[in-house]
């Protein structure tokens, strides 16, 4: 079951803090601390919410489904900070799954699921995990081979440490996102109230109620912002908007289309030190125009990479939909027959028609591909691409960045200054910014050759 704990919160009482902030706006002298106004009527109900946003909470949420973080905590809102257990690096997530906990999760939040359907769900979930375990050994050896071929300066210690992680990164595509994860989640009191009212599944309602209860235990005077009658009661789930590629379900690259650029005449290319290690783009007057122009495109990526893409909260995204495709990364493609992929996808799509849509959503495999439109200002995209074009980024999100770079190159030409947005620090400086995590690629290629190849690992 989902466990929620409040780890830290702002020291001051939220009502006293909001009153103080509001009085700073309303009077000519610095207000007296402790003077209380009617926060509910004068501020909250009147939507003067900046005064209430000074109060922050950090929650630790453990045992929640990966899918409930992708489609719940991280889907839309930009008003949070989040650090989630990595599906790329935390091997124990898939080693010994506790299927009883998965059953408990389903029956607790979707009690209308009958025993026959539950058995079908568990058979599907176990099939994905079995596929992972059957092939992870071979995948690890292939990862070692690919690293040696693509990264000539990778040490044997690097290969030994990273090959299992890269293999897991690519092999997890067959695992359902209903398996549990954990995250540290920080937000302010108004963002919590907004999330509380917006949640669209039973598991998210449970989690947000726990978060609200923890706040109200400390500060019952905030009760006006919460109440079960305020919660959204209908569920949401993603629809299907496409057909599987060539009826095989398998896709081998993320896709980018309908790329549009505006405001390029005002683009300012910043110096590397303005972007890294501390991104100052949104803070400097000289780069303000970069927040007006930007790039939009329609993308198709796996849920694994959608989870990565959501980390950049200054990028706007449309409502996503499923394509019906399954992403087969290079290592996965080497060891898993397409028929096994098709069988797994057919089982999930069949379940999609039998279970509540909010449950169908989080039964999807990591490899299920989603389509949505994303739009970012130049500042937001420069920040995003600083890491996404680096070889320490996972293979698929690198290829998403590469595809967008190629789309812009086709549109604007190879000499376009826009292409400088899609450059990792090592291309600009000749030095790896990852330090001991240096990927082992040949940085000397920056002066002669393709710096953005179709890498496999």
**What span, in angstroms and rounded, lies between the C-alpha atoms of 202 and 361?**
12
Q: Give the model's pLDDT for residue 98.
A: 87
**What span, in angstroms and rounded, lies between the C-alpha atoms of 394 and 170?**
9
Question: HSE on the CB side for 6, CA within 13 Å?
Answer: 22
On whether the CB atoms of residues 93 and 179 are closer than 8 A, the answer is yes
Q: Give the model's pLDDT for residue 251.
A: 79
* Residues 6+ away with beta carbon under 8 Å from 394: 88, 169, 304, 305, 308
Q: What residue spans define the domains of the chain?
A: 1-85+180-329+367-457
Q: pLDDT in tens for each of the 457 residues of the chain?
A: 899 999 999 999 999 999 999 999 999 999 999 999 999 999 999 999 999 999 999 999 999 999 999 999 999 899 999 999 887 666 666 666 789 999 999 999 999 999 999 999 999 999 999 999 999 999 999 999 999 999 999 999 999 999 999 999 999 999 999 999 999 999 999 999 999 999 999 999 999 999 999 999 999 999 999 999 999 999 999 988 765 554 557 778 899 999 999 999 999 999 888 988 899 999 999 999 999 999 999 999 999 999 889 988 899 999 999 988 999 999 999 999 989 999 999 999 999 889 999 999 999 999 999 999 999 999 999 999 988 989 999 999 999 999 999 999 999 999 999 999 888 888 888 888 888 889 999 998 887 778 999 999 9
Instruction: State the Cα angle at 146 between 140 and 147, rounded to 5°.
Output: 90
Q: Give the model's pLDDT for residue 90.
A: 65
Q: Give the model's pLDDT for residue 89.
A: 64
Output the 3-class SS for 99-145: HHHHHHHHHHHCCCCCHHHHHHHHHHHHHHHHHHHHHHHHHHHHHHH
Nearest CA to 77 out of 214, 208, 179 is that of 208
Q: Give the model's pLDDT for residue 397.
A: 94
**What span, in angstroms and rounded, lies between the C-alpha atoms of 12 and 7?**
15
The pTM for the full model equals 0.93
Nearest CA to 59 out of 167, 218, 296 is that of 218
How many distinct helices (H) and strands (E) make up the chain?
Answer: 17, 10
Q: Could you tell me the two tokens for 315?
A: 């990028």
Helical pair 115-150 and 99-109, crossing angle rounded to 10 deg: 130
Dihedral sign of CA atoms 409, 412, 415, 417 in order? negative
On whether the CB atoms of residues 294 and 219 are closer than 8 A, the answer is no
* CATH of segment(s) 1-85+180-329+367-457: 3.30.70.3180
Q: Give the model's pLDDT for residue 246.
A: 47
């Amino acid at each position: 079951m989902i466990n929620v704990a409040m780890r830290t919160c702002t020291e001051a009482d939220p009502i006293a803090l909001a009153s103080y902030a509001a009085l700073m706006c309303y009077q000519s002298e610095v207000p007296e601390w402790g003077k209380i106004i009617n926060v509910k009527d004068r501020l909250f109900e009147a939507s003067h919410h900046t005064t209430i946003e000074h109060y922050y909470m950090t929650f630790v949420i453990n045992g929640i489904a990966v899918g409930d973080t992708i489609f719940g905590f991280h889907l839309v809102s930009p008003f949070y900070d989040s650090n989630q257990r990595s599906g790329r690096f935390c091997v124990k997530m898939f080693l010994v799954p506790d299927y009883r906990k998965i059953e408990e999760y389903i029956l607790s939040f979707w009690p209308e699921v009958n025993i026959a359907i539950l058995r079908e769900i568990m058979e599907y979930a176990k099939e994905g995990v079995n596929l992972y375990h059957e092939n992870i050994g071979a995948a690890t050896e292939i990862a070692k081979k690919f690293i040696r071929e693509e990264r000539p300066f990778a040490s044997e210690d690097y290969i030994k440490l990273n090959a299992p992680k890269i293999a897991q990164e690519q092999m997890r595509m067959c695992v359902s996102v209903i398996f549990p994860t954990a995250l540290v989640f920080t937000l302010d009191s108004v963002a919590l109230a907004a999330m509380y009212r917006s949640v669209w599944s039973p598991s998210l309602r449970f989690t947000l109620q726990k978060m609200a209860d923890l706040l109200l235990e400390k500060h019952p005077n905030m009760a006006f912002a919460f109440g079960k009658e305020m919660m959204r009661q209908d569920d949401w789930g993603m629809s299907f908007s496409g057909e599987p590629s060539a009826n095989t379900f398998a896709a081998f690259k993320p896709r980018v289309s309908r790329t549009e650029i505006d405001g390029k005449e005002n683009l300012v290319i910043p110096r590397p030190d303005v972007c890294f290690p501390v991104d100052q783009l949104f803070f400097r007057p000289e780069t303000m125009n970069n927040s007006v122009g930007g790039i939009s495109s329609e993308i198709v990526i796996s849920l694994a990479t959608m989870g990565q893409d959501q980390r950049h909260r200054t990028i706007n995204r449309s409502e996503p939909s499923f394509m019906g495709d399954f992403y087969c990364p290079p290592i996965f493609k080497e060891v898993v027959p397409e028929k096994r992929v098709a069988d797994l996808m057919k089982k999930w799509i069949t379940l999609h028609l039998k279970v509540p849509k909010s449950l169908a959503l989080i039964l999807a495999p990591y490899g299920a591909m989603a389509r949505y439109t994303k739009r970012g200002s130049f500042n937001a995209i420069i920040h995003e691409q600083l890491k996404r074009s680096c070889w320490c980024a996972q293979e698929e999100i690198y290829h998403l960045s590469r595809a967008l770079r190629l789309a812009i190159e086709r549109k604007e030409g190879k000499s376009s200054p826009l292409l400088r947005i899609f450059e990792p620090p090592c291309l600009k400086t000749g030095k790896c910014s990852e330090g001991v995590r240096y990927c082992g690629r040949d940085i000397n290629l920056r002066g002669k050759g393709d710096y953005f190849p179709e890498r496999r690992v």
